Amino acid sequence: MNEIEKKADIIIIGGGVNGCSLAYQLAKKGKKVVLCERNYICSGATGRCGAGIRQQWSTRENTELSIKSIKIFEKLEKELGQDIGLRQGGYLIIVHNNKDMIQAEKNVKMQKELGLDVSILTPDEILDVVSILDIEGMKAIGATFCPTDGHVDPFKTTHAYAKAAERQGAKLYKFTNVTDIKTKNKRIDCVVTNRGKIKTNIVINAAGAWSKQIAEKLNIKLPNKPFRKEILVTERVKPVFKAMVISFKDGIYFSQQDEGQILGGIPIPNEISGYLTNPTFDFLNHMSKTLTRYSPKLKYVNVIRQWTGYYDVTPDARPILGEVDEIKGFIQCNGFSGHGFMLSPMVTKILTDYITDGKSSDILEKLLIKRFKDKEITHETSVVG
Ligand SMILES: Cc1cc2nc3c(=O)[nH]c(=O)nc-3n(C[C@H](O)[C@H](O)[C@H](O)COP(=O)(O)OP(=O)(O)OC[C@H]3O[C@@H](n4cnc5c(N)ncnc54)[C@H](O)[C@@H]3O)c2cc1C
């Protein structure tokens, strides 16, 4: 392996979508950036995710972040000079009872105030969007639908960011494990890796489900917990729908790829936190039964593969961003709780503005780790998987 740099303005830990997007944006602003990834680019949650992108959330912060992120995704292919596989077929969120409809109406009102094109559909209108659904099987009384939600290819996007970052002068070191972080006078001093030390005053912790361990090296306790999440893909069948179908009550999400495969996931009941990697029969069983209840026509479609990845889950299902109070220059970009791909464009822009211009924002202030000291925290309730 080649010698590594001895000094950098900023060191990013983690070569997922967030780390690579940060590397690109910070290098573009003239910073000397080093990214350390202990495996290969996309080896964490990014390379295992569904990569659905939606703007329909219950909290203002997530809604605002995702509306702005999708606007960035829409221009990203041009900016990075590479296809990112963006497809906007909408998200159809199934509502099953009157209580959940009240929450859905509240969400839609807030989303519309933020300028989102979103509407509430009747059961008949649901079938206009995805004709193979079974209204009775799903026990649906309606749905919400946003046509500009969709899907992006996580590999194409992350590698496009990585290549663009390198063109801007960033160094992306694969198979480079961060083993320690040293401080001097409560300020970041250097990062220790299996390939040597790198001096720096700024470290960004974008290590996904391993961010907690990174923070522990500096005696900072993150409340994040890793959860195994499973996902499957079927054989190709004739493409018949474009929207992502999801249900907060059942936890299921599924969509059809342009090539015809159905891709989707669901949480298995009573999953406990931990670094488990084995795929389970419980998942396959639960997913198949729920999926074919939603669409009996899919009964004859074969599953060809299932795999696992981790959600990095915070107590309020919202990310942890920004600098910690205890150590100058230690910046968090983690805790995405299963929606870190879709929020990445805006989250990394906010952090880049903070690092390069010292510019904070309302959203950044609300997502600092210190919010967990407050008596009441605002939970994101629109979550699946
Ligand atoms: C099954 C599944 C489905 C999902 N579906 C969606 C979806 O539809 N939409 C969505 O927006 N999100 C989804 N997510 C969540 C999404 O994948 C993540 O939130 C997002 O990819 C996080 O990206 P990241 O760059 O922050 O972290 P990661 O991609 O996890 O990258 C972190 C990297 O840090 C590296 N690392 C860890 N420790 C060290 C160390 N000591 N030194 C060096 N490197 C280190 C790891 O190897 C890893 O590559 C899903 C996740 C899963 C598992």
Ligand 1 atom with least separation from CA of 151: 8
CATH 3.30.9.10 residue ranges of the chain are 91-147+225-311
pLDDT digits (tens, 9 = 90+) for 116-162: 999 999 999 999 999 999 999 999 999 999 999 999 999 999 999 99
- Which has the higher per-residue pLDDT, 313 or 375? 313
Categorize the per-residue pLDDT at 364 as very low, low, confident or very high, splitting at 50, 70 and 90. Answer: very high
Of all protein residues, the one whose alpha carbon is nearest to atom 48 of ligand 1 is 44
| 191 in contact with ligand 1, CB cutoff 6 A | no
Query: What is the pLDDT of the chain when averaged over all its residues?
Result: 97
| 54 in contact with ligand 1, CB cutoff 6 A | no
Of all protein residues, the one whose alpha carbon is nearest to atom 41 of ligand 1 is 178
Q: Above 90 in pLDDT, residue 212?
A: yes
Categorize the per-residue pLDDT at 376 as very low, low, confident or very high, splitting at 50, 70 and 90. Answer: confident
Percent of the chain with pLDDT over 90: 95
Using CB atoms within 10 Å of the CB of residue 120, give its burial: 0 to 12 exposed, 13 to 18 middle, 19+ buried.
middle
Torsion angle defined by CA atoms of residues 218, 224, 228 and 230, in that order, rounded to the nearest 10 degrees: -120
Q: Above 80 in pLDDT, residue 337?
A: yes
pLDDT digits (tens, 9 = 90+) for 225-284: 999 999 999 999 999 999 999 999 999 999 999 999 999 999 998 888 999 999 999 999
- Residue 157 corresponds to which tokens in the numbers above? 């996007």
Task: Look at domain 91-147+225-311 and name its CATH class.
Answer: alpha beta
What contacts 285, CB < 8 A, 6 or more positions away? none
Q: What is the CATH number of domain 10-48+155-224+316-373?
A: 3.50.50.60
Q: Name the residue of 218, 339, 380 to mutate for ligand 1: max ligand atoms within 8 A of Cβ.
A: 339
Residue 360's pLDDT is: 94
Q: Classify strands 225-234 and 202-205 as parallel, antiparallel or unpaired.
A: unpaired
pTM, rounded to two decimals: 0.97
Residue 377's pLDDT is: 85
pLDDT digits (tens, 9 = 90+) for 272-305: 899 999 999 999 999 999 999 999 999 999 999 9
CA of 312 to the centre of ligand 1 (A): 8
Q: Above 80 in pLDDT, residue 2?
A: no
Q: What is the full DSSP assignment across 317-352?
A: SS-EEEE-SSSBTEEEEE--TT-HHHHHHHHHHHHH
CATH 3.50.50.60 residue ranges of the chain are 10-48+155-224+316-373
- Residue 75 corresponds to which tokens in the numbers above? 């221009």
CA of 44 to the centre of ligand 1 (A): 5
